[in-house]
Structure formats: C-alpha cells, structure tokens
Amino acid sequence: MAWNQPGQNNPWGGRRPGGQGNGPDLDERVKNWQRRLESLFRPGGGRGAEGGRSILILVGVVAVVLWLFSGLFQIKAAEQGVILRFGKLVDIRTQGAGWRWPWPIEQLIKVNVASVQSSEYKSRVLTSDVNLVELRFAVQYQLSDPKKVLFQVKDPEATLSEVSEMAIREVVGRSELDNVLVGKTRPEITRRAKELIQRTLDAYNTGITITTVNLTDVQVPEAVIPSQ
C-alpha cells in the first residue's frame, strides 16, 4: 500500500524524505545568524559592552598593521634615501628595499644623486677692456651628497644660481671682449668658471658637483659695437 495515498500514515512524521520538510528550520537558522551579525555591529550588541570592545580591538589591530606596512620603501639605483627621525638625520640608505618607522616618527626623503640637472642663467658683464656683453650660460650639476644638500644650505638652487653668476662675472671680467666672442677661446673661460663655481660650492658644503659649464650665447649691445 502506498504511503502517499490520502488517509495513510507517514512513517517520517509528516516530513517527506529528501529534506523537503526542512524549509522552515533553515529559514529560522538564517534569521538567527542575521540577528547575531546585526548585534555585533549594533551599540551594546554582541553580549553588551564586551562585543563592542572586541570590534574596537579588531579595528585597532588592522589600523596598526596598515600603519606598520606603510613604512616599507624601495630605493632605486640612482637614489639615496635620507631617513629623519623627528626631523633629525638617523640614516642614509642606498639601493634596495627597506623599512622605517612610519610617519610621524620617521620620514624618508629620496634624492637622485645620479641624474645630471641643468640650470640656465643670463647676465650682463663688463670685460677687462671695458666692454659690456650679454651672456647666456648653462650649468650642469649633480646632487652628489644628499646629507649636505638637505642640511648644509637653506636653498641649494638659489645658492647655485648666486655662485654661478658670481663666477662667470669674475672670469669674464678678467677676459678681453675678443676672447669672449671668439669660439676657440671660450673653452678656457668655461673651464675657469667651472673650477671657480666648484671651489665656492665646496667651501659652502653644498653637496653639489658641477659637471659642465657652457656659454650658450654672447651678445654685444648695439650701443657698444665698434663702427667699421
């Protein structure tokens, strides 16, 4: 006799095999889990104040881990990394990976010591034979010593500009107009200017190394050009 005929008793107590009768129980379990999750994020939930403290501790741990992770760094081959602790120099790192205490305890400043930078200047100078010339010259340099660059001078770029203009005035001021105008004598002028710039920068402990000095343009104002 089939059990699913009307009026017959079901040996599973009204629940059919295959779990078809578990629908209401499963829904109730899902609702219970939802209520538990909601209680954890509700003020006073999760067994009262203890649940709230657990969440705060978890958030604090995650924040500390992320803060520590932010201290990782990578120094490229052309760079040096200067590490400051509360503004005081504590270390200089070269190429490679490393870790430091994150801000605000320590700070990392990367300085490119390999690249050659260039600055151009313009100046009016009197030659030794009292002729006025307008000069344009370029100075190529490297920031070779990060410690000196960052701590010995307040403004390395401004210092380089002042020293370069002073040197070119000194060298050109000791040269005659023809020597400044003629191309074959310019290398001697730029060589002397480079040496003077470097000596002065070294005296100031700037950490800057001059690679080349070039006179890019020399003009004589029309008012002083001698008539033919």
Taking CA atoms, 129 is separated from 125, 148, 156, 180, 219, in Å, by 11, 39, 34, 11, 16
141: number of Cβ within 10 Å: 23
Average pLDDT, the chain: 83
Residue 177 near residue 224, CB atoms below 8 Å: no
pLDDT more than 90, % of the chain = 56
Statement: the pTM of the whole predicted model exceeds 0.75: no
Q: Express each pLDDT in 75-84 by its tens digit.
A: 999 999 999 9
| pLDDT at 61 exceeding the cut of 60 | yes
Query: Considering only CA atoms, which of 27, 24, 221 is closest in space to residue 126?
Result: 221
Query: Considering only CA atoms, which of 176, 168, 179 is closest in space to residue 128?
Result: 176
